[in-house]
Structure 1
Amino acid sequence: MSNSPVLELQALAGDPSSDIVAVLLKAKMIAVKLNLNDLSEWLEYEIEGYPTGNDIPKYRVGRGIVKAFNPYHGWFPVDFSNVSPDFIESASEFRITESISSMKKGESKDGMLRITMPPKMVNLLFGSHDIHPEVCWFFSANKLNHIVTTVRNKILTWSLELEKQGIMGDGLLFTQKEKDAAPMTITNNNTNNFHAPVNNAGAIGAGNSGDINQQNSISVGDIASLERELKSHGLDDNDVAELKQLVEQSPKPASKEEVEKGFGAWIGKMTGKAFTGALKVAGTAAPAVLTNAICCYFGIPV
């Protein structure tokens, strides 16, 4: 299988000296061909940058030293002595939305980098005056290295999960069987440290490992208990409604294998969200957590 794009991706991602952009582009090619839309979106954001500072993976969030610029004395720390701890915590939090390629330029002689604070935040600090000093978050340049390493590790973990599931590809092609299996596979690999992305092949950025034995609160045939369990893992109303519709329209499964087959596409989709850090369960754990929850609802042993 020397012509496998998945093995090629493993070699790239596993080599610390390889270009992270090359790793992302190879991963994007595989994700698109396997119709993994959530994962493709995350990879695109890492390549091009994130459109806002709100919905980004936790590994791109940090805390810095807030400093304002004085034209006569240079940069000085902002005095937070008269504000609440909660405000200090909020004001010191920054988000890095730039493309991962731009992080190659994040060099600093003193080992520190800075991000300019947006005007709305500056107004909260200094009031709505006409003139404000420039205010920035100062943070260690190692944060950028952490982001690159996290993304690389998530992609490597995902590619290993693909191989484990027998999804290898041949040149630039994947079989229909591999495409059908891919969603649940990727649904295995996320803290948001794209979710990351691949601390879970399916949850890029999700922060915890997920407890696959959490479904004790689900009563057989009680859809409300299943909904509560799923929402506790961060699924939103639309996700739950989609599953509820599947439950109503699909034949009742009699085994765990039938659950995986009948609900695999939905599980894969949710795992993709976990991969991006949108859920409260890691991508690596999401497939088992979700499958077990559905099994418990149908009274199937797990």
Structure 2
Amino acid sequence: MGSIVQELQMEAMSSTSNISGLLRKSLVVARKLKIKDFEDWVNQELNGYSEEVPEYREISGNIQYLDVYNGWYPAFIRDEKTADLFRKSKLYHPITEIEDLVNRESKYLAIEIPQILQNSLLKLFNEIESAQFRLCFLKLKGC
């Protein structure tokens, strides 16, 4: 049997490995080798971010609102700068939650917009009295 570093390398090259498993093994390696920065990063990936989020965890999608009678509809905002404020999101979630979202049987990945932003959207869409908003992304598995 090889070292844990070699095992990690082999698993990283396998298309069947999951990210959370790789990160847990990486945490063991970081602790063994006493690489504090790497250990801190792995811990944040596994447990979620509380403050600053790396750039690769910033995503953008399409805003949708839920009409309780007819389902989800696109929410169009005329002003592009304003629309960009709502289209972008930071993924603070633990990697296991992100894996769960990605692995669901749906061609879309949907993330609920925080309530404070939903309240602002309701003000923009004054004809809508109450709604639930979400960011929606087309999932491209295997890409």
TM-score by shorter chain over 0.5: yes
CA-CA distance at 1:17 after TM superposition: 0.8
Instruction: Please give the per-residue CA displacement for 1:58-109, whole angstroms capped at 9, x wherever unaligned.
Output: 222211110111112211111212x2x2221121112222222233432233
TM-score (norm: length of structure 2) = 0.82
TM-score (norm: length of structure 1) = 0.41
State the match for 1:36 in structure 2: 35
Tell me, in whole angstroms, the C-alpha distance in 1 between the residues paired with 2:66 and 2:21. Answer: 38
State the match for 2:97 in structure 1: 102
Instruction: Please give the per-residue CA displacement for 1:241-284, whole angstroms capped at 9, x wherever unaligned.
Output: xxxxxxxxxxxxxxxxxxxxxxxxxxxxxxxxxxxxxxxxxxxx
SS at match of 1:136: strand
- Tell me which protein shows more strand as a share of its residues: 2
Instruction: Please give the per-residue CA displacement for 1:27-81, whole angstroms capped at 9, x wherever unaligned.
Output: 11111222222211111122122235xx212222211110111112211111212
**Residue 135 (structure 1) aligned with residue 130 (structure 2):** no
Letter in 2 for 1:97: Y
- Tell me which protein shows more helix as a share of its residues: 1
SS at match of 2:64: strand
State the match for 2:68 in structure 1: 71
Aligned partners of 1:61 and 1:95 also within 8 Å? yes
Tell me, in whole angstroms, the C-alpha distance in 1 between the residues paired with 2:16 and 2:58. Answer: 25
Letter in 1 for 2:28: M
State the match for 1:291 in structure 2: none
Tell me, in whole angstroms, the C-alpha distance in 2 between the residues paired with 1:142 and 1:46. Answer: 22
Letter in 2 for 1:96: L
Instruction: Please give the per-residue CA displacement for 1:199-225, whole angstroms capped at 9, x wherever unaligned.
Output: xxxxxxxxxxxxxxxxxxxxxxxxxxx
Moved over 6 A (4+): none
Aligned partners of 1:112 and 1:141 also within 8 Å? yes
Letter in 1 for 2:97: S
State the match for 1:24 in structure 2: 23
- In structure 2, which of residues 48, 58, 62 is the aligned counterpart of residue 61 of structure 1? 58
How many corresponding residue pairs? 138
CA-CA distance at 1:122 after TM superposition: 1.7
Tell me, in whole angstroms, the C-alpha distance in 2 between the residues paired with 1:73 and 1:57. Answer: 37
Tell me, in whole angstroms, the C-alpha distance in 2 between the residues paired with 1:20 and 1:126. Answer: 37
What is the RMSD of the two structures over their aligned residues, measured on CA atoms?
Answer: 2.4
State the match for 1:3 in structure 2: 2
Tell me, in whole angstroms, the C-alpha distance in 2 between the residues paired with 1:118 and 1:102. Answer: 17
SS at match of 1:67: strand
Tell me, in whole angstroms, the C-alpha distance in 1 between the residues paired with 2:115 and 2:97. Answer: 23
Which is worse superposed, 120-129 or 41-50? 120-129
- In structure 1, which of residues 99, 106, 112 is the aligned counterpart of residue 108 of structure 2? 112
SS at match of 1:142: coil
CA-CA distance at 1:132 after TM superposition: 3.2
SS at match of 1:16: coil
CA, structure 1 residues 15+74, in 2 after alignment: closer, same or farther (shift >3 Å)? same
State the match for 2:119 in structure 1: 123
Counterparts of residues 192-231 of structure 1 (less than 5 Å): none
What percentage of aligned pairs have identical amino acids? 25
